[in-house]
């Protein structure tokens, strides 16, 4: 029999990508919209898990956003994410779920981590202030999974694993010009600048380097990790990095998007605005050594993402 799977956050960018893959495998999937189930409400979540008896849970639900959203709404970011994570992880354990995958974030690593960042860097230094609330929430989810494994792993045969993805982009993202992540925000702003023959203003100097992972590659990594053999799970650290394996400057990213969108206008970098840490790349050797690696290069991924944008935001 196929395992009964709950995908929390199925309508988000990552959730949609995982759903596409699981549906293709004819998996036994259960989903709930926010209107049907408020994941911040403990009683509702406990009752839902008790009734369903899942074998696997993908914990992807949560509040996400870029620098502007994180600095403007820190209370919502830390409260909503901690409540969702805590309710699902605890309800999963109490209802007998053996395998759970929690989606962490590379923003949980210290601001001045040695590059590329290894899994051991977690909690070794101060966080980046612009997304501290979100990072603390993610750390709590990682440590909650780790604690359940430590206390109940052997007695209950639990495998609650966290993945730490780098900056994501791809179909299903929110293309808000200020509240979304860097790639979708830039795609929308460059598209609008192109159509209006406007000057394009970019926060920061453009020298900061980031690693970008196509969302379908992350979905494959999630499913790959979920289905590892028990003996492999038992030897893994509490969290694993997931990335493309190469970082680029924001200026290079902007140039790539301009090329995909055929934007010929002026680009101005505003050095008075924040741009976060100067470099953030992940050491993905552990997951790569298990047999997974990203396959979508930035140009190919941007073309697919822009196609999705044009479909979602028709002029």
pLDDT by residue (tens digit) across 194-221?
A: 887 678 899 899 999 999 999 999 999 9
Q: Of the residues 68, 134, 148, 244, which is catalytic?
A: 134
What H or E segment, with its residue span, contains residue 235?
A: none
- Token pair recorded at residue 312: 């979602």
Contact by Cβ (8 Å): 45, 96: no
Q: Give, rounded to a whole angstrom, the gap between the first and last alpha carbons of the chain.
A: 46
Per-residue model confidence (pLDDT) at position 26: 78
Q: Dihedrals φ, ψ of 295, to 5°?
A: -125, -10
Per-residue model confidence (pLDDT) at position 220: 97
Contact by Cβ (8 Å): 256, 298: yes
Question: Can you give the pLDDT of all 315 residues of the chain as single tens digits?
Answer: 789 999 999 999 999 999 999 998 878 999 999 999 999 999 999 999 999 999 999 999 999 877 778 889 999 999 999 999 999 999 999 999 999 999 999 989 998 899 999 999 999 999 988 889 999 999 999 999 999 999 999 999 999 999 999 999 999 988 877 667 789 989 999 999 988 767 889 989 999 999 999 999 999 999 999 999 888 888 899 999 999 999 999 999 999 999 999 999 999 999 998 777 788 899 999 999 999 999 999 999 999 999 999 998 775
Q: What is the DSSP letter of 86?
A: H
For 4-312, CATH number?
A: 3.40.50.720
* Residue the block writes with tokens 């050491």: 283
Contact by Cβ (8 Å): 146, 161: no
Q: What is the DSSP letter of 127?
A: P
What does the alpha-carbon distance between residue 97 and residue 51 come to, in Å, rounded to a whole number? 12
What would the pLDDT profile of 45-98 be if each residue is shown by its tens digit?
A: 999 999 999 999 999 999 987 777 888 999 999 999 999 999 999 999 999 999
Q: What global pTM score does this model have?
A: 0.92
Per-residue model confidence (pLDDT) at position 18: 97
For residue 6, indicate whether it is catalytic: no
């Amino acid at each position: 029999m196929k395992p009964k799977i709950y995908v929390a956050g199925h309508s988000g960018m990552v959730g949609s990508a995982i759903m596409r893959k699981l549906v293709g495998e004819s998996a036994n999937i259960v989903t709930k919209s926010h209107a049907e189930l408020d994941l911040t409400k403990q009683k509702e979540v406990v009752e839902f898990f008790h009734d369903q008896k899942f074998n696997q849970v993908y914990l992807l639900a949560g509040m996400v956003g870029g620098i502007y959203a994180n600095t403007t709404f820190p209370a919502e970011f830390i409260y909503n994410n901690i409540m969702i994570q805590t309710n699902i992880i605890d309800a999963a354990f109490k209802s007998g779920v053996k395998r759970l995958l929690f989606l962490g974030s590379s923003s949980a690593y210290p601001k001045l981590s040695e590059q590329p960042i290894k899994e051991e860097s977690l909690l070794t230094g101060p966080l980046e202030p612009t997304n501290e609330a979100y990072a603390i929430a993610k750390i709590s989810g990682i440590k909650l999974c780790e604690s359940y494994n430590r206390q109940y792993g052997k007695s209950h045969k639990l495998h609650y694993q966290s993945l730490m993805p780098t900056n994501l982009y791809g179909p299903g993202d929110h293309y808000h010009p200020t509240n979304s992540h860097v790639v979708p925000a830039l795609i929308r702003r460059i598209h609008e600048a192109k159509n209006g023959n406007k000057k394009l203003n970019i926060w920061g100097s453009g020298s900061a380097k980031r690693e970008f992972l196509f969302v379908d590659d992350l979905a494959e990594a999630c499913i790959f990790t979920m289905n590892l053999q028990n003996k492999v799970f038992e030897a893994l650290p509490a969290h694993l990095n997931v990335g493309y394996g190469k970082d680029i400057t924001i200026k290079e990213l902007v140039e790539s998007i301009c090329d995909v969108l055929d934007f010929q206008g002026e680009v101005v970098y505003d050095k008075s605005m924040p741009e976060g840490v100067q470099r953030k790349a992940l050491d993905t050797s552990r997951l790569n050594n298990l047999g997974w690696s990203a396959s979508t290069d930035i140009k190919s991924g941007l073309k697919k993402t822009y196609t999705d944008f044009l479909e979602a935001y028709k002029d």
